[in-house]
Amino acid sequence: MASGGIAGLWLDDHEVVEAARKVREAGFKKFDAITPFPVHGMEEAIGIKRSMIPYVTFVAGVTGFLAAVALQYWTSAISWPINVGGKPFFSGPAFVPVMFELTILFAALSSVGALFVLCKLPKLDPPVIDPDVTCHKFAIFISEEDSAYNAERCEQLLKSLGAKEIKKLARY
């Protein structure tokens, strides 16, 4: 959200979940909660869908597995077949460990890559609502791009939901 908006700050994680639910019920869509740790129940309160990273993990895992099969098959049976102790060129059971390791490696690294893409990391010096939102304060930020946005109305709403502090941001 590279736009301005208004943010309210809370000191209690239960209150901020409740507030987020109310903000959503008030009809806002482009808003987010910023918290120092994952707050239980926040995803349901805001209406965030389940992350799609598992699909990336699955596809990458399958890719890793197939890559390992292809690498071992091609090098051991096609490119330069060598008879090792009379074993078949494609020694299935002996190739399992590398298949397993590459499955895990591809799946893990691609999942991390997916997180970077989905969360738009790395960010260069992003604006901060309050330095304490990574410590003990919990924020709800409503973007001015939201169709229901109205600075005064938002401020009133956040205050009525118990925000201890209100901050207007030119860019967030």
Partner 1 sequence: MSSVTRKPLILGNKTYKDITDDICQPVEAAPGKKWFAMLLSAKMLFLFYILHIAYIIGVGMGLLGVNHPVAWGTMIITFVFWIGIGHAGTLISAILFLFRQKWRTSVARSAEAMTVFAVMTAGIFPLIHTGRPWLDFWLLPYPNQRGPLWVNFRSPLLWDVFAVSTYATVSSVFWFIGLIPDFATLRDRAKTKLRRMIYGALSLGWRGSARDWAHYEMLYLLLAGLSTPLVLSVHTIVSFDFAVSMLPGWHTTIFPPYFVAGAIFSGFGMVVTLLTLVRIGFPQFKDYITIDHMEVMNKIIMATGLMVGYAYCSEFFIAWYSGNPYEVYAFTNRAFGPYWWSYWIMFSCNVFIPQLFWFERFRRSIPVMFVISIFVNIGMWFERFVITVTSLHRDFLPSNWGMYAWSWFDTAILFGSFGMFLTIFLLYLKFVPAIAIAEVKPVLFVGKKRPGHGGGH
3-state secondary structure of 142: strand
Paired tokens of 123: 């960010």
Site string for partner 1, 26-65 (x = CB under 8 A): ------xxxxxxxxx-xx--x-x-xx-xx--x--------
- The least CB distance from residue 122 to partner 1, in Å, is 4
Strands 165-169, 138-143: pairing is unpaired
- Phi and psi torsions of 64, nearest 5°: -60, -45
Q: Which is nearer to partner 1, 77 or 166 (CB)?
A: 77
Bridge partners (DSSP) listed for residue 167: 7
- How far apart CA 67 and CA 37 sit, in angstroms, is 37
Q: Which of 6, 7, 9, 107 binds partner 1 (CB under 8 A)?
A: 107
Alpha-carbon distances of 85 from 82, 91, 106, rounded to whole Å: 9, 11, 31
Considering only the stretches 2-10, 117-125, 144-152, 162-170, report the one whose residues sit in contact with partner 1 under the rule CB under 8 A.
Answer: 117-125
Q: Which residues bind partner 1 (CB under 8 A)?
A: 12, 14, 20, 32-40, 42-43, 46, 48, 50-51, 53-54, 57, 71-72, 75-76, 79-80, 82, 84-85, 87, 91, 94-95, 97-98, 100-102, 104-105, 107-109, 111-112, 114-116, 118-119, 121-126, 128, 131-136, 141
